[in-house]
């Protein structure tokens, strides 16, 4: 759920820290993102702001600062970097890299709507390449004891020129060494949320692995392993009806999913954390081995 649709036009042209706000780009549950210009380094940036008068959750301000601090400690080429964080009398803000491109969700939607029916499937080799970058970034974050907890296509960004993948939005990330602001609360996006996360249990990196597995399912078929439902009903099903969660096996949804790929997908989205890949590295190794056999160019490499 995003912030209320209250006009923030008055912020256009405002100075925040070293930046000037230019225009609103979008809204989420954790803030409003503006296109900004950092005057000190003369570069465009993204500025996320959280107006204090729109805060309805009493710990939202703490979570906003925790997002900035968590992302700031993660230095990885596939994680959106944070440049600055601050507060004024009226709002909290953080300045981050502006990613020129589109989200994976936008990219997937564009493929689904392709005018040629035969091109409405996401290119599997490209999809695996994207997810390998995601898994590399998550492996690093997990080593730093940070669990993202909201991996989904909308939070995976692709630079248009370089095709580099960047993970964004650490708004509900869990830093395992720090205080859990959301203990016992089921936060996240239900369709991509692991069962243990849906029930408000303590989670580790295997919850992120589950989410990546759901995205792989969605890319390969294309469909989700769960039928979209009202949020609370979906959460209850994930907790109380685990055996009836999946609509179909991926291979039943589309014939291009062979036995090996189906095994990888089903292992990643296993209901019990102990049955999944136990690390992002293990998941990535399985994907690389599969891709090396299925996608080869003239030099024997895959793309």
**Catalytic site residues?**
150
Task: Give residue 179's region: left, alpha or beta (phi > 0; psi -120 to 50).
Answer: beta
Task: Give the ranges where the chain is alpha helix by DSSP (H).
Answer: 60-72, 104-112, 124-143, 195-198, 205-220, 231-240, 250-253, 259-268, 280-294
Query: In whole angstroms, how far apart are CA 6 and each of 13, 32, 51, 54, 56?
Result: 17, 11, 10, 9, 14
CA-based nearest residue to 37, from 53, 57, 60, 17: 17
Q: Are 248 and 255 in contact (CB under 8 A)?
A: no
Q: Which residues pair with 45 in a beta bridge?
A: 36, 97
- What SS3 state is found at 166? strand
The two three-digit tokens of residue 192, written as one number:
């991509």
The most distant pair of C-alpha atoms in the chain lies apart, rounded to whole Å, by: 61
Strands 146-147 and 165-167: unpaired
25 vs 84: CA distance, rounded Å: 19
Which neighbouring-strand residues pair with 166? 157
């Amino acid at each position: 759920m995003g912030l209320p649709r209250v006009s923030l036009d008055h912020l256009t042209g405002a100075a925040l820290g070293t930046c000037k706000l230019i225009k609103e780009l979008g809204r989420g549950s954790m803030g409003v993102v503006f296109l900004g210009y950092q005057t000190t380094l003369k570069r465009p940036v993204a500025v996320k702001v959280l107006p204090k008068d729109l805060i309805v959750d009493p710990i939202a301000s703490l979570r906003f600062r925790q997002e900035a601090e968590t992302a700031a400690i993660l230095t990885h080429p596939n994680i959106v970097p944070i440049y600055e964080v601050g507060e004024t009398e009226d709002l909290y803000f953080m300045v981050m890299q502006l990613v020129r491109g589109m989200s994976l969700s936008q990219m997937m939607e564009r493929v689904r709507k392709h005018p040629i029916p035969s091109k409405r499937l996401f290119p599997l080799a490209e999809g695996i390449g994207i997810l390998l970058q995601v898994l590399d970034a998550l492996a690093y974050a997990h080593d730093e004891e940070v669990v993202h907890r909201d991996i989904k296509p909308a939070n995976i960004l692709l630079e248009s020129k370089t095709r580099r993948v960047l993970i964004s939005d650490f708004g509900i990330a869990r830093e395992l060494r720090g205080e859990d602001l959301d203990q016992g609360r089921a936060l996240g996006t239900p369709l991509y949320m692991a069962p243990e996360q849906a029930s408000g249990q303590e989670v580790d990196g295997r919850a992120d692995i589950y989410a990546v597995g759901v995205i792989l399912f969605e890319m390969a078929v294309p469909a989700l392993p769960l039928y979209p439902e009202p949020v609370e009903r979906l959460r209850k099903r994930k907790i109380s009806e685990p055996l009836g969660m999946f609509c179909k096996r991926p291979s039943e949804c589309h014939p291009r999913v062979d036995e090996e790929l189906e095994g990888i997908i089903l292992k990643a989205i296993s209901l019990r954390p102990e049955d999944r890949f136990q690390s992002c590295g293990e998941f990535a190794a399985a994907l690389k081995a599969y891709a090396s056999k299925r996608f080869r160019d003239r030099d024997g490499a895959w793309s």
